[in-house]
Amino acid sequence: MSTLRDQLITKIDEYISQTEEHANGIIPDAIKKSDDIINDAKKKSDDIINDAKKKSDDIINDAKKKSDDMHNKQAELKKKFEIELKTIEHECEKEIKILKDKLEQIKKNFGDTKDSSIITLNVGGRLFITTTFTLTQEDSMLKAMISGKYKILKDKDDNIFIDRDPDLFKQVLHYLRTDYYPTTENRNEFKNELDYYSIYHDLK
């Protein structure tokens, strides 16, 4: 009986030893698998965080670039506007000067008309009635005729006679009255007529 009992105890001890050895083998393996799972999860978590951070940085950089581009465009538009504004101001100053000059001329003309008188000219057989002021605004042949510094001819009615084309003289008189060139197809003939009377112009 003692021997059988000892054998049974021995087998039980062997079984317990085997069980402990098996358990000792399972636990480290389970711990390793658990560590692997944790490490893998941590790695995936780090990858997700890094990817999210990269995307966030890309969004911020893109927004910053768009903001810089918008700022540059605003600066460019501001510079262009300032240039255009200066150009407009310069043109306005020129126009104002022209208007002031014309106003001064009008004032001068208004003041001089009291000393002006009506005069009739016979140009190529056609009579033109105007004022001495109109004919004497510039140092021209007409002014010399009126002032007596130029030898003149007179018709039977004592009108100054000028042997020139009356149609062209009509255009010359229009220019002296308005300071504007008349609309004409005979621009060269009109220019030659101004030259004949020594009237200043900028026609070419």
- Indicate the domain borders of the chain: 64-114, 116-196
Bridge-based pairing state of the strands 118-123 and 126-131 = antiparallel
Q: In this predicted structure, what is the pLDDT of residue 1?
A: 57
Residue 178 Cα distances to 90, 106, 134, 163, 195, angstroms: 26, 11, 10, 24, 18
Unique residue bearing structure tokens 């009509």: 170
Q: In this predicted structure, what is the pLDDT of residue 104?
A: 62
Classify domain 116-196 at the CATH superfamily level.
Answer: Potassium Channel Kv1.1; Chain A (3.30.710.10)
Q: In this predicted structure, what is the pLDDT of residue 193?
A: 94
Question: How many C-beta atoms lie closer than 10 Å to residue 184's C-beta?
Answer: 14
Q: In this predicted structure, what is the pLDDT of residue 102?
A: 61
Unique residue bearing structure tokens 């911020």: 60
The list of the chain residues with pLDDT below 50 reads: 106-107, 109-114
Q: In this predicted structure, what is the pLDDT of residue 23?
A: 63
The Cα 17–Cα 30 span in angstroms is 20
Backbone angles phi, psi at 188, to 5 degrees: -65, -40
Q: In this predicted structure, what is the pLDDT of residue 62?
A: 79
